[in-house]
Amino acid sequence: MCGALVPASIVLKRHPARPPAHTDPEDPLSRILLKAFLGLLMRVLYRPTVEGMERIPGSGPVILAGNHVTFIDSLFLALVVKRQVFFIGKDEYVTGKGLKGRLMAWFFGASGMIPVDRDGGHGGVAALMTGRRVLDEGKIFAIYPEGTRSPDGRLYRGRTGIARLALMTGAPVVPFAMVGTDKVQPSGKGLPRIAPVTVRFGEQLDFSRYEGMDRDRYVLRAVTDEVMSHVMRLSGQEYVDVYATKARASKAA
């Protein structure tokens, strides 16, 4: 449900404007109620194994960067992490009409999703600005460097938005891997299935040595590749050095 599709060539202002108020998730009470209910349901049905939770700082800005194999990755991530996790998602998830639309808007907002129009020409910039605002407020922002879900279960080349966000904010990056969520909700299937799920968190990555170099495309690529190498080791996935969007287009052709 989230990603960072920001080319290294895009130049942003050092202090971007705060996004419109309607991008904020629902109130804390809604998040607490949703997490309590779904967290209990998840523990009963899936009994997820969580490894390395202690590697996530108890306070301050943190970037969680991981693989993306199915739609429900963000939901599992938000439910296992003790702190509130924010991530971006398509604004169409919260703009529906009627009772169903209101329920979906409440659900995704309470889950920590911040809606962003990523289909427009400035979608990548909006996503980056949103992530920066969340981190500037000392919160956790989750991102999938691949930019979209894997078309075949393999791990694809990361987009450099993750690197730019880390260098602009100075926030530590904690890589993570979702293992088994593709069995819970296989591509093209409807209702989730019961299957074991493991969420692994790796050691914090500090890129402060590259401070002030967030516009150097070689540095951005090096940082992104380092993050993806940690995600690969955590997930055990085969790595493919092409973008997932290109692989998906070739598969559909």
pLDDT digits (tens, 9 = 90+) for 79-138: 899 899 999 877 766 667 787 777 777 676 777 778 787 665 566 788 889 999 999 999
pTM, two decimal places = 0.82
Distance separating alpha carbons of residues 68 and 174, to the nearest angstrom: 15
- pLDDT of 212 > 90? The answer is yes
Distance separating alpha carbons of residues 49 and 177, to the nearest angstrom: 12
Between the CA of residue 251 and those of 3, 67, 153, 245, 247, what are the distances in Å?
21, 20, 13, 10, 6
- pLDDT of 143 > 70? The answer is yes
The larger pLDDT score, comparing residue 15 to residue 230, is at 230
The larger pLDDT score, comparing residue 142 to residue 250, is at 142
Identify the bridge partners of residue 62 per DSSP, sorted by sequence position.
140
**CB-CB contact of 119 with 60 (8 Å):** no
Distance separating alpha carbons of residues 15 and 25, to the nearest angstrom: 22
- pLDDT of 44 > 90? The answer is no
Distance separating alpha carbons of residues 245 and 239, to the nearest angstrom: 15
Give per-residue burial for 107-118: e unless 16+ CB within 10 Å, then b.
bbbbbbbbbbeb
Reading the block at residue 44, the tokens are: 């009963």
- Distance, CA of 29 to chain centre: 23
The larger pLDDT score, comparing residue 28 to residue 178, is at 178
Region of residue 213 (phi > 0: left; psi between -120 and 50: alpha; otherwise: beta): alpha
Distance separating alpha carbons of residues 109 and 96, to the nearest angstrom: 13
What is the reported pLDDT for 117? 73
Give per-residue burial for 128-141: e unless 16+ CB within 10 Å, then b.
bbbbbbbbeeebbb
What is the reported pLDDT for 57? 96
With a CB cutoff of 8 Å and minimum separation 6, the contacts of 46 are 184, 194, 195, 196, 197
